[in-house]
Amino acid sequence: MDRIVIRGGRQLNGTVRIESAKNAVLPILAACILSRGECLLHGIPPLHDVFTISQLLMRLGVAVRTERPGLLRIHTPDVIQTEAPYDLVRKMRASVLVMGPLLTRFGVAKVPLPGGCAIGNRPVDLHLKGFQSLGADIEIKHGFIQASAERLYGARIYLDYPSHTATENIMMAAVLAEGTTYIENAAEEPEIVDVANFLNSMGARITGAGTKVIRIEGVRELGGTEYACIPDRIEAGTYLVAAAISRGDVTLTNVITEHLKPVIAKLQEAGAEFEGRNGTIRVIARERLRSVDVKTLPYPGFPTDMQAQMMSLMCVTEGISIVTETVFENRFLHVEELKRMGADIRIEGPSAIVRGVERLYGAPVKATDLRAGASLVLAGLVAEGQTDIFGVGHVDRGYVNIVGKLQALGADISRVNT
Ligand code: UD1
């Protein structure tokens, strides 16, 4: 069992390159099911979640070939399996993203109901309502969801909540439907725009992605394409916080600054300085930063996927900060672990009240989910003494070589097998 060992107190300096966005790569790999031609995807990061979805595609009968590291060639034949295996879906909720593509191209999709999730109740009702509006029959039996339809038809779909993956799943289903679909109150995350651009590069007709209303004009079939996904704004945000928490000076390359606006705005409010040009951004934080209040919201609000990391920073800033989580109901699992390192945090309903302390102290701690794991790594960077982080598998789901990248920036961090 691996753990990450950090001896805190080193200032981070240097340059780090950001990978392609996990949350764009996953739906885009699923979207390859829609294409009759070959899809060549560049810059695919070697993340555990990416391996899981690639395995899932292969189990369905999709040909996924790694041409060289980061370059995938994918081809979906005319006949494949349409039932997603439970052992892979239970590893990763995002597996549900194969449902829209399978349903619209093959007329049927059977996917296990995603089970419980550490960060709260995560239903897929909005995905299913969307498919039903397009004309699919949905049946839930023996732990599986089965969706079927001879043909899908364009419809107006209003999402009760701008769910990120529901927007993508419905958009993917609608590209081969007959007629025009409008998704209203759609999620506006940059990854959704990336998926739409990918689909359009295969011949889909989507406009409005990145706004509240997405219009999808159905087409008969989609062809092959070559594509590179956008950079990961959450990985980037995590390194911005790493620089800020260590009072360092770090430059990120391969970033889209616009996508980082909500995170940069908060770090600036806390006192960090930024310089950016041509796909790079430099963050400088020489002084102890000030506390700021943070409230998570769908994009362009502050991302829930950065809440835990930001909280680690607030643990050591000057003053009191209120961190409010509005997207997920139980996304404070890192709080108890941060408290074990000396953080002063009190939870009141959906908010955590964080009183900045002078110092955190290294301790053995456990990552309970991906971003909680990242927040513990960040806390370990400033904690006095040694922090041992267990549950590293969670971190591997979303960060490529976080240990090597932080080492290169000057952190005293290693990965050990116990
Ligand atoms: C995606 C991201 C995840 C991020 C989240 C919120 C991927 C693969 N994952 O997850 O990293 O944390 O967006 O930005 O892109 N909901 C329903 N019914 C549904 C779907 C969602 O009630 O059918 C609720 C959820 O319970 C949650 C909220 O909507 O409270 C937001 O979830 P959603 O936007 O769907 O998150 P995901 O798409 O699962």
pLDDT per residue as tens digits for the range 213-242: 999 999 999 999 999 999 999 999 999 999
Q: Is 291:321 a contact under the CB 8 Å cutoff?
A: yes
Average pLDDT across the chain, whole number = 96
Number of domains in the chain: 2
- Using the atom order of ligand 1, give the atom closest to the CA of residue 93: 39
Which pLDDT band, with edges at 50, 70 and 90, does 136 fall under?
very high
Q: Ligand 1 within 6 A of 397 CB? A: no
> Which mutation among 161, 185, 188 tests ligand 1's pocket best, with the greatest number of atoms within 8 A of CB?
161
Q: How confident is the model at residue 120, as a pLDDT? A: 64
Checking if the pLDDT of 54 tops 80, the result is: yes
Selecting among 32, 117, 229, 315, the annotated active-site residue is 117
End-to-end C-alpha distance for the chain, whole angstroms:
6
Checking if the pLDDT of 116 tops 60, the result is: no
**Ligand 1 mean position to 93 CA, how many Å?**
10
For the question of whether the overall pTM of this predicted structure is more than 0.95, the answer is yes
Containing structural domain, residue 378: 2-19+231-417
Per the annotation, the verdict on 32 as an active-site residue is: no
Based on the fold, state whether residues 95 and 159 are members of the same structural domain.
Answer: yes
3 state DSSP class of 360: coil
Q: How confident is the model at residue 119, as a pLDDT? A: 61
* Residues paired with residue 7 on neighbouring β-strands, in sequence order: 386, 412
Based on the fold, state whether residues 75 and 186 are members of the same structural domain.
Answer: yes
Q: How confident is the model at residue 37, as a pLDDT? A: 97
Based on the fold, state whether residues 198 and 217 are members of the same structural domain.
Answer: yes
Q: How confident is the model at residue 122, as a pLDDT? A: 75
Q: How confident is the model at residue 329, as a pLDDT? A: 85
Based on the fold, state whether residues 6 and 72 are members of the same structural domain.
Answer: no
Based on the fold, state whether residues 159 and 74 are members of the same structural domain.
Answer: yes
**Ligand 1 mean position to 29 CA, how many Å?**
18
User: Given 197, 228, 259, which residue is the final one in a domain?
Assistant: 228
Return the residue whose CA atom lies nearest to atom 11 of ligand 1.
305
User: Given 203, 228, 253, which residue is the final one in a domain?
Assistant: 228
Three-state SS annotation for 188-225 = CCHHHHHHHHHHHHCCCEEECECECEEEEECCCCECCE
Based on the fold, state whether residues 215 and 265 are members of the same structural domain.
Answer: no
What percentage of the chain has pLDDT greater than the value 90?
93
Mean pLDDT over 202-215 rounds to: 98
Based on the fold, state whether residues 284 and 387 are members of the same structural domain.
Answer: yes
User: Given 228, 250, 285, which residue is the final one in a domain?
Assistant: 228
Q: How confident is the model at residue 121, as a pLDDT? A: 66
DSSP 153: B
Give me the DSSP letters along 62-129. Answer: -EEEEEETTEEEEE--SS---B--HHHHTT-GGGGGGHHHHHHHHSEEEEEPP---TTS----HHHHH
Mean pLDDT over 381-390 rounds to: 98
Q: How confident is the model at residue 107, as a pLDDT? A: 97
Based on the fold, state whether residues 87 and 215 are members of the same structural domain.
Answer: yes
Cα separation, 8 vs 5, in Å, equals 10
Checking if the pLDDT of 118 tops 90, the result is: no
pLDDT per residue as tens digits for the range 348-382: 999 999 999 999 999 999 999 999 999 999 999 99
Q: How confident is the model at residue 117, as a pLDDT? A: 59
- Using the atom order of ligand 1, give the atom closest to the CA of residue 163: 34
Based on the fold, state whether residues 240 and 91 are members of the same structural domain.
Answer: no
Residue 381 belongs to domain with CATH number: 3.65.10.10
**Ligand 1 mean position to 113 CA, how many Å?**
15
